[in-house]
Amino acid sequence: MKEADMSRQIIVGNWKMNGITRDSRELVQALLDKVDANGPEVVVCPPFTQLALLNQALAPSPIGLGAQDCHKNVSGAHTGDIAPPMLTELGVSHVILGHSERRQEHGELDETVREKAVAASKAGLTPIVCIGETEDQRESGDHFDTLGWQIKGSLPDGFNGIVAYEPIWAIGTGRAATTDEIAETMTFLRQELVRQFGEAGKNIKILYGGSVNDKNAASILSLADVAGALVGGASLKADAFLSIIAAASAA
């Protein structure tokens, strides 16, 4: 796993459970025609079924390949799961862990996410660990406590990956947090990372996710401590995703 380049933003497309072969080929080809190696780092995270196909398509390009989850073990009796070495064999460089949809739909705990992050790092993958508060937690004023505990529970000692802050109430709703809310939260997250990891906490990239689109990307990506974006629905539309990448280039 490479050391983070803090001066270069990273735009990660989380395709979630979308993308059959024809659609994946068309989307990736549209990106390949436009993505510049001198711009921000770009990673696409398709479903497991598309990893082998896209590894071949992306191998000679500046676009990285990511996965949406992995298991904490390298092998074993875990039906339906994917081990980190299986991902690296397919050319995967990054893996999203602890997304709120995994936490809510599959009951993943902070401890589970931390164990997966350790396994991913050992396999040479860069873990992108997601954290975020619910609407009730924000409205009650408990959001910073929630995020602090998620960092403590989900990030292992010596963490050298990426943190993605995604307020749960903004994911897939079309309602992104305001720039003031994002700026305030990013300041807290940076302080918390430094508090928990010391000097190393200054070099952990923090992405923003949650209804990022081509219209709000420029204002979000220009904020201090926002090192890029984790993009959901907009990453499935080439024009919108390319606009977000362009916004990162200008930030």
193-207 residue pLDDT tens: 999 999 999 999 999
For residues 143 and 137, give the distance between their C-alpha atoms in angstroms, rounded to a whole number.
5
Identify the three-state secondary structure at position 195: helix
pLDDT of 5 higher than 70: no
Binding-site annotation, residues for substrate: 14-16, 172, 211, 232-233
Residues 213, 244: contact at Cβ < 8 Å?
yes
pLDDT band at 2 (very low <50, low <70, confident <90, very high): very low
pLDDT digits (tens, 9 = 90+) for 134-190: 999 999 999 999 999 999 999 999 999 999 999 998 888 887 789 999 999 999 999
Helices (H), 13-99: 21-32, 51-58, 84-89
41 is catalytic: no
For residues 194 and 35, give the distance between their C-alpha atoms in angstroms, rounded to a whole number.
33
Query: Going by C-beta distance under 8 Å and a sequence separation of 6 or more, which residues neighbour residue 89?
Result: none
pLDDT at res. 7? 77
Burial of 76 per CB tally in 10 Å (0-12, 13-18, 19+): exposed
Of 41, 133, 166, 192, which is the active-site residue? 166
99 is catalytic: yes
Check if CATH label 3.20.20.70 holds for domain 10-32+40-45+81-237: yes
What integer is the mean pLDDT of 229-236? 97
β-strands 63-67, 94-97: how paired?
parallel
Of 41, 99, 101, 133, which is the active-site residue? 99
pLDDT at res. 4? 52
Report the percent of the chain where pLDDT is more than 90.
92
Binding-site annotation, residues: 14-16, 172, 211, 232-233
pLDDT of 225 higher than 50: yes
Q: Which helix (H) or strand (E) segment is 113 a member of? A: helix 110-122
What integer is the mean pLDDT of 103-119? 98
Report the percent of the chain where pLDDT is more than 70.
98
Go through 207-226 and write b for each residue having 16 or more CB atoms within 10 A of its CB, e for each that does not: bbbbbbbbebbeebbebebb
DSSP 11: E
